[in-house]
Amino acid sequence: MKLAQRKLSGALLSSAMLMTLFTGCSKGGQEAPAQAVEAVSDKGGPVQTEPVDVTFYRPSTGTTQEQFMDLMGNAIKAKFPNVNLKFIPYGQGTNVEEVLTAGSDIDLLILNINLIAQFPKYNLLQDVSDSIKKANFDLSRLEPTTVDFIDQFTGGKINALPIFTTAQSLVYNKDIFDKFGVPYPQEGMTWDELYELAKKVSKSDNGIQYYGFAGSTPFSSMTRVNQKSIAYVDPKTNKSQIAGEEFKKVVDNFARFYRIPGAEFPKDKMGKENDMFNKDRNLAMYVGNSSLLINSAVNMNVDAISLPSFSDAKGVGPQMYPTYAAVSSISKHKDIAFQILTYLTSDEMQEKFARDGTGLPIIKDQKVVDLFGADLEQLKGKNMKSFYPQKPAPIAMKTPYDDKVEGKVSAAFKEVVGGDSDVNTAFRKAAEQADADIDAAIKASSAGK
């Protein structure tokens, strides 16, 4: 049964059950020493009454200590005043292997979805299924596809919880549509309808060539969250799936926009779509996540609609691209780490993430979802609902070898739209190269054991 469908009703954290958590088992099943004396707050929740160090690690971005505190640290400190927060910034000397070799304390990890697939080899993610049951934590509050992914990836365990997410949308430059007297894109469009619209704004004016549409840079960022839920790699066979017919249909759908007669995309502009939209401003429509609209809306006349859908799957949006938090298996403070983990999914924190544009809230409360970007002046009056798919595609399975495929997808796409190869040849070769790289990685991993 999918996790998002489990009915674990009741209070978020009951104090009686959290008393049990404080004396729960640590790694290896041994009784964990008490880390603090517990009291009960006036709200019925646990209070940390003795100082304790809790260390976060985010091994994927260059997040600074100050950025971490703005993101969540200050709120956590206010909620748990006796917690002394530490943060390991990711950079030179702090990749995962180096942090583990140094014996650094890690209590909580922040991981984007792609990193989740890389972490089984480190044995760093703690299954908190029992803690969730004891705390009566209601998983059904959370966006279902992000929870279902963890359920399927782990085979029924819960070793991470989504804390916020993002999804792709179609951002458009209203000035270009106004220039050519063309109606703006509308909600509920199909890709076929958008193609016809793109042709109407793919024109030359006063020596400037305008282009109707381009996908996000690099192109693989779109196929990674494709609406067909096609995974890069089959997790059962460890073979790439980018030469399959369904995947090639996704490629063909986007390639046609780059080959509109009279407005063929120049080869030297491939990979520079972001500059075309934000700087040159000769690109009418561009795909990106919420940060695209947040940044472009500062000094551009832009708005957004939900990503168009395929004609044979109307209404199906892109896959969510969530960020997760996880209790570390090497944490010496698993109980308080779990409390902080669940606090990150609370209404209070979800409203914070939503209002400041950090990410789409992970809870299904429409009132909170509607607060997305509320504190950003440039987003007033913008169609912020476009970034939260009403029917997101199921998240495709991830493997540790997806990175062996992703770059080859973008390279093959460039060959196709540049006229250097047809889609069958380009993606057959890309699949063969990816499979060879995957095989080499598997052999190297086996040899190292």
Q: Output the domain CATH number for residue 249.
A: 3.40.190.10
**Do residue 90 and residue 148 come from a single domain?**
yes
Instruction: Identify the domain containing residue 40 by its residue range.
Output: 3-159+323-361
Q: Does one domain contain both 9 and 150?
A: yes
Per the domain annotation, does 368 fall within a domain?
A: no
Same domain, 196 and 285: yes
332 token code pair: 């010496």
Q: Tell whether 301 and 247 lie within a shared domain.
A: yes
Residues 331 and 240 in one domain: no
Per-residue model confidence (pLDDT) at position 46: 55
Residue 372 lies in a domain: no
pTM of the model: 0.87
Mark whether 17 and 113 lie in a shared domain. Answer: yes
Residue 434 falls inside a structural domain:
yes
The number of domains in the chain is 2
pLDDT at position 426: 97
| 104 is a domain residue | yes
Q: In whole angstroms, give the CA distance from residue 69 to residue 389.
A: 29
Verify that 315 and 239 share a domain, yes or no: yes
Per-residue burial over 354-380, b = 16 or more CB atoms within 10 Å of its CB, e = otherwise: bbbbbbbbbbeeeebbebbbeebebbe
Same domain? For 435 and 304 the reply is yes
Regions of the chain with pLDDT less than 50: 1-45, 48
Residue 102 lies in a domain: yes
Q: Which residues contact 354 (CB under 8 A, 6 or more apart)?
A: 360, 361, 368, 369, 371, 372, 373, 374
26 and 122 co-located in one domain: yes
- pLDDT of 371: 95
pLDDT at 144 (0 to 100): 97
Residue 380 in domain:
no
Which residues 6+ apart lie within 8 Å of 182 measured at CB?
197, 200, 201
- Do 202 and 224 lie in one domain? The reply is yes
Asked if the structure places residue 95 within a domain, the reply is yes
Q: What is 391-444 written as a DSSP string?
A: SBPPPPP--TTTHHHHHHHHHHHHHHHTTSS-HHHHHHHHHHHHHHHHHHHHHH
Residue 369: inside a domain, yes or no?
no
Q: 338 and 255, same structural domain? A: no
From CA 62, how far away is CA 67, in angstroms rounded? 9
The reply to whether 247 and 230 lie within a common domain is yes
